[in-house]
Structure 1
Amino acid sequence: MSVSTHFRPPAVAGLFYPGDSQQLAVEVSALLAECHPPLLHPKALIAPHAGYIYSGPVAAQAYALLTPLRAIVQRVLLLGPVHRVPIHGLATTGADYFRTPLGDVPIDGRAVMEACKLPQVAIHDGAHGPEHSLEVHLPFLQTVLDDFSLVPFAVGMASATEVAQVLDLLWGGEETLIVVSSDLSHYHGYQEAQRLDRQTADDILHLHPLSSHEQACGATPINGLLEAARLRGLRPTLLDLRNSGDTAGDKSRVVGYGAFAFEA
């Protein structure tokens, strides 16, 4: 008996980023070409997840670091907040592939099953279906890495420790990269957003837990990463800190974006 292959189709292609594969490849390559990354060997990244016109230049600063690791990174743990479907704990997937206009990214099914042994993790494809916070990172990863598998987690109501437990379980070696998806402050004036986001960046750089989702929509997975970073001695570096008023929007109501790398 044949077993059908389950694909998670793109939800925001043509909205948050180009839906045409050639146009998407050109746009991602152009964003990366604008970067001049420092010499870092990151174990983990924090990068934003808005439409590329807004946050793409900031996200590219994180992904440009991975070019020297193209053949080394073989698995990506990708965690982002849920925006559409409220959930408890962390939702992973029963899909075999996540699809983008650039192709299909295989899911590490063995790692998914291992994570599901933890009580806070469950397969919940309904949470992934409309969610953009993970999807928008995939074209960057497909561009800067060779063959890699994905372990996706949409993070809902969970503690930092519950997130850190998942990271610890699947930590691996240099073949495993962690990516946390998060924007920063939302809908403040330009100068107020700058002030708030500088404080958030300072908290992250000192491995201090974020106090609320007002600082970052992905505060829960960020705090899980910060807990793991403290335990494993990772050092964070700020790569970029801007907002939509700097990239493509007006300055009256902006969204903040930050890019960070964590190195052992």
Structure 2
Amino acid sequence: MITRAPAVAGSFYPGSPDQLRREIDGYLSQKHPSAGVEIKPKALIVPHAGYYYSGAVAADAYRMVAGEEFDLVVILAPSHHHYFTGASIYSIGNYETPLGEVKVDCELAESLIAQYPAINFIAEAHRQEHSLEVQLPFLQVVLGDFMMLPLILGEQSWDMAENLAEIIADLARNRRLLLIASTDLSHFHDAETAEFLDRQIVDAVAAFDPAAFWSLIENRQAEACGAGPLLTVMQAALKLRARRAEILTYRHSGMVSGDNDRVVGYLAAALY
């Protein structure tokens, strides 16, 4: 077994366990109107920037599942550093963060790799990828111990998302799943342009309309670096009988930094 060491601790989020927990607790303490609702989400859409920029947005999603118990957390995140076809599951050990190890269901991961040609283990896909790693400390704080399947998507297409959504839905036959889609929205536009582009995606997610969302991406009318994970999770959630989407928070980096010339958009949403 080979534990995947944290790649961005100390840069995207604090490397000190105590400081990391304090920072996350601070974000989570900022109450959101939807916190405490009785119906819990089947899926969350979360950003993956440094916590300084997007931590408060991510917290608005993770707060929705605080204290819940899931048999398996399925996290889908995009590859930023290594291109490959299909999806990669880390199947050879656990992930580590400053808060401790997060257990990977390696037996299930190996089974999926053996069954489905679209799923492999590609070490380079996980080694430096931040988009999945930054979700783990939040999950450790709100869930405690949990088991996960960490998937990095190298290929972002409608067919790939549909294929993965079927596989994920099949996993739910005898498990309570939580699905996580990791994505940021538009990148490096001025604030006004970013808000216009991102509004298109926010509206498509609010309507729970995967086809409308994908049309925006294919026609370059909007941007999301995790378009594949977001599409997959929307499709899988529909198969799991989720019928409603809630937009929890939209912000961009300029709202934190004060620099509105080049911003990145962030969304927190829940699918019920």
The structure-2 alpha-carbon separation of the partners of 1:240 and 1:135, relative to structure 1 and needing over 3 Å to count, comes to: same
Which residue matches 1:19? 15
Percent of matched pairs sharing the same residue: 40
- Alpha-carbon distance in 2 for matches of 1:15, 1:181: 18
- Alpha-carbon distance in 1 for matches of 2:2, 2:30: 36
Does structure 1 conserve the Cα–Cα contact (< 8 Å) formed by 2:86 and 2:118?
Answer: yes
Does structure 1 conserve the Cα–Cα contact (< 8 Å) formed by 2:73 and 2:180?
Answer: yes
Deviation string, structure 1 residues 62-111 (Cα, Å, up to 9, x no partner): 00111141xx2232100000000111000011332100000000111122
Does structure 2 conserve the Cα–Cα contact (< 8 Å) formed by 1:37 and 1:64?
Answer: no
- Alpha-carbon distance in 1 for matches of 2:57, 2:90: 28
Which residue matches 1:233? 241
Which residue matches 2:185? 184
TM-score (norm 2): 0.89
Does structure 2 conserve the Cα–Cα contact (< 8 Å) formed by 1:203 and 1:209?
Answer: yes
Which residue matches 2:199? 198
TM-fit CA distance, 1:33: 0.5
Tell me how large the CA RMSD over aligned residues is. Answer: 1.6
Structure 2 letter corresponding to 1:163? L
Which residue matches 1:107? 104
TM-fit CA distance, 1:29: 0.5
Does structure 2 conserve the Cα–Cα contact (< 8 Å) formed by 1:94 and 1:124?
Answer: no
What are structure 1's unaligned runs of at least 5 residues? none
Does the alignment pair 1:216 with 2:227?
Answer: no
Does structure 2 conserve the Cα–Cα contact (< 8 Å) formed by 1:35 and 1:60?
Answer: no
TM-fit CA distance, 1:173: 5.9
Q: How does 1:47-196 map to 2 (within 5 A)?
A: 47-69=46-68, 72-116=69-113, 117-158=115-156, 159-172=160-173, 175-196=176-197
Does structure 1 conserve the Cα–Cα contact (< 8 Å) formed by 2:77 and 2:131?
Answer: yes
Which residue matches 2:28? 32
Q: Matched residue of 1:209: which SS?
A: helix
Please identify, of 202-211 and 47-56, the stretch whose mean Cα deviation from structure 2 is larger. Answer: 202-211
Deviation string, structure 1 residues 103-135 (Cα, Å, up to 9, x no partner): 000111122123211110001122100000000
- Alpha-carbon distance in 2 for matches of 1:79, 1:166: 13
Q: Matched residue of 2:7: which SS?
A: coil
Does structure 2 conserve the Cα–Cα contact (< 8 Å) formed by 1:115 and 1:169?
Answer: no
Q: Matched residue of 1:7: which SS?
A: coil
Structure 1 letter corresponding to 2:136? L
What are structure 2's unaligned runs of at least 5 residues? none
Q: Matched residue of 2:134: which SS?
A: helix
- Alpha-carbon distance in 1 for matches of 2:179, 2:258: 29
Which residue matches 1:10? 6
Q: Which of the pair is proportionally richer in helix?
A: 2
Aligned residues: 257
- Alpha-carbon distance in 2 for matches of 1:219, 1:114: 26
- Alpha-carbon distance in 2 for matches of 1:230, 1:175: 15
Deviation string, structure 1 residues 214-242 (Cα, Å, up to 9, x no partner): 52111011111222233443121100011
Structure 2 letter corresponding to 1:240? T
